[in-house]
Amino acid sequence: MSAPAVSQAPADAPALDVRGVTVRITTDDGGFNVVEDISLAVAPGETLCIVGESGCGKSMTALSLLRLLPDGARVAEGAIRVGDTDLLALSERQAEDIRGDRIAMIFQEPLTALNPVMKVGAQIAETLARHRGLGRKAAWAAAVAALKGVQMPDAERRAQQYPHELSGGMRQRAMIALALACDPSVIVADEPTTALDVTVQAQILGLLRDLQRRHGTAVVVITHDLAVVAETADRVIVMYAGRRVEEATITDLFDSPLHPYTRGLMGAIPKGRAEGGDGRLTDIPGTVPALWNLPRGCAFAPRCPLAIDKCRAERPPLEDHRPGHRAACWRVDDAA
């Protein structure tokens, strides 16, 4: 292969490349890790889902990707690259230039991202003015176009309204328009449809799918809902107690989940009778452990039906058990 004339990332280079990120919360009596050793890579046009229950660290992972961690929490180790930019090496000012431009976030609750006292169109125009240097008129026109791009009904009029004047589904569209305004290469969506009614959720999932197809955006979806995972993901990371416990392509994960926690989650979902799921649900006994008081070995061991002494003593590493299918469990071979 001849060397490329211009320095350009190869076509299959990840849009987002995260290596060994650990997020640490510092407290008066020391601290603890809420996210430990997360690595992931997302290619343009690809969707990676991070799935887990409350307290598994998935939202902290999302916030760390944009350097939006709350006070007291920080990335203690690891590297985050957006394209060829090392995000953690940037000053706060430089990070602001990247955020909203090359990497953007969609939140569960649009009111956390939208300014309540500013017209929806003006917020999008402001982002465009900052990152694209557009003048007032051009920015406004681009903002209306962005709202049309997310199929906001009556976009010109909606641009003149405040967030509280919009319905939940329309607010979600406005926030997506804001996130996508500068055509970022990476979108991080934290529970993007959790607060929505199911018919509106279907519209928003359809919209995200459509936008991703057209723009080739790399998407990270953070969710607790395995059905949303089944509808959106190319690849999946399952998190438990701040760590990855399983990683696979979407079909491998649903065809043959390896980790007992993943299996438990799948058994716990009520499946319609058509899908053969009547009768008793498999529940996972107990609750998620506190991150500041994790057991010594595998964090899932206290709830795991397969746990043996080794699980309680030694933490299992995340290993390939099949090509591209990794799990952190000592009992994978016995589970199948």
Partner 1 sequence: MPLDTPAAPLLSVRDLKVHFPIRQGVFQRQVGTVRAVDGVSFDIGRAETVGLVGESGCGKSTTGLALAGLVEASAGEVTFDGKRVGTERGASLQRYRQRMQIVFQDPFSSLNPRQRVRDILRAPLDIHGIGKASERPAKVLEMMARVGLRPDQAANYPHQFSGGQRQRIGIARALMLNPDVIVCDEPVSALDVSVQAQILNLLNDLQAELGVSFLFISHDLGVVEHISRKVAVMYLGKIVEMAERDALFANPTHPYTELLLSSTPSLDPRNRHDFAASSEDVPSATSKPSGCAFRTRCPLATAECAEIEPPLTPRADGRTVACHHR
SS3 content of the chain, % helix, strand, coil (to 5): 40, 25, 40
* Binding residue for partner 1, selected from 9, 268, 308, 336, defined by CB under 8 A: 268
d(CA 317, CA 39): 13
Say if residue 128 is exposed, middle or buried (CB neighbours under 10 Å; 0-12, 13-18, 19+): buried
If one asks whether residue 282 binds partner 1 (CB under 8 A), the answer comes out as yes
In this complex, which beta carbon is closest to partner 1, that of residue 139 or of residue 211?
Answer: 211
b or e along 177-214 (b: 16 or more beta carbons within 10 Å of the residue's beta carbon)? bbbbbbbbbbbbbbbbbebbeeebbebbbebbeebbee
d(CA 227, CA 266): 10
# of chain residues touching partner 1 (CB under 8 A): 54
If one asks whether residue 335 binds partner 1 (CB under 8 A), the answer comes out as no
- What residue has token string 């795991």? 304
d(CA 325, CA 335): 15
In this complex, which beta carbon is closest to partner 1, that of residue 118 or of residue 202?
Answer: 202
If one asks whether residue 305 binds partner 1 (CB under 8 A), the answer comes out as no
In this complex, which beta carbon is closest to partner 1, that of residue 67 or of residue 171?
Answer: 171
Partnered with residue 110 across adjacent β-strands are: none
In this complex, which beta carbon is closest to partner 1, that of residue 8 or of residue 199?
Answer: 199
If one asks whether residue 264 binds partner 1 (CB under 8 A), the answer comes out as yes
Residue 296's SS3 state is coil
What is the amino acid identity at position 275?
E
Q: Quick one: which of 231, 176, 168 has its CA closest to 200?
A: 168
Which of the ranges 3-11, 112-120, 205-213, 323-331 carries the binding residues for partner 1, by CB under 8 A? 205-213
If one asks whether residue 207 binds partner 1 (CB under 8 A), the answer comes out as yes
If one asks whether residue 200 binds partner 1 (CB under 8 A), the answer comes out as yes
* Binding residue for partner 1, selected from 40, 221, 233, 291, defined by CB under 8 A: 233
d(CA 155, CA 162): 13
* Binding residue for partner 1, selected from 70, 116, 270, 276, defined by CB under 8 A: 270
Residues in 149-168 at the binding interface with partner 1, rule: CB under 8 A: 151-153, 167
In this complex, which beta carbon is closest to partner 1, that of residue 131 or of residue 263?
Answer: 263
Calculate Rg over the CA atoms of the chain: 21
* Binding residue for partner 1, selected from 21, 75, 144, 170, defined by CB under 8 A: 170
Greatest C-alpha distance within the chain:
68
Please say whether the beta carbons of 155 and 148 come within 8 A. yes
* Binding residue for partner 1, selected from 162, 254, 294, 315, defined by CB under 8 A: 254
* Binding residue for partner 1, selected from 54, 93, 117, 333, defined by CB under 8 A: 54
Residue 177's SS3 state is helix
Which of the ranges 24-32, 86-94, 263-271, 307-315 carries the binding residues for partner 1, by CB under 8 A? 263-271
If one asks whether residue 285 binds partner 1 (CB under 8 A), the answer comes out as yes
If one asks whether residue 112 binds partner 1 (CB under 8 A), the answer comes out as no
If one asks whether residue 265 binds partner 1 (CB under 8 A), the answer comes out as yes
* Binding residue for partner 1, selected from 287, 310, 317, 319, defined by CB under 8 A: 287
* Binding residue for partner 1, selected from 78, 169, 257, 260, defined by CB under 8 A: 169
If one asks whether residue 324 binds partner 1 (CB under 8 A), the answer comes out as no
Please say whether the beta carbons of 66 and 23 come within 8 A. no
d(CA 235, CA 335): 22
In this complex, which beta carbon is closest to partner 1, that of residue 66 or of residue 152?
Answer: 152
Residues within the interface to partner 1 (CB under 8 A): 53-54, 151-153, 167, 169-170, 173, 197-203, 205-207, 209-211, 224-228, 230-231, 233, 250-251, 254, 264-265, 267-275, 277-278, 280-285, 287-288
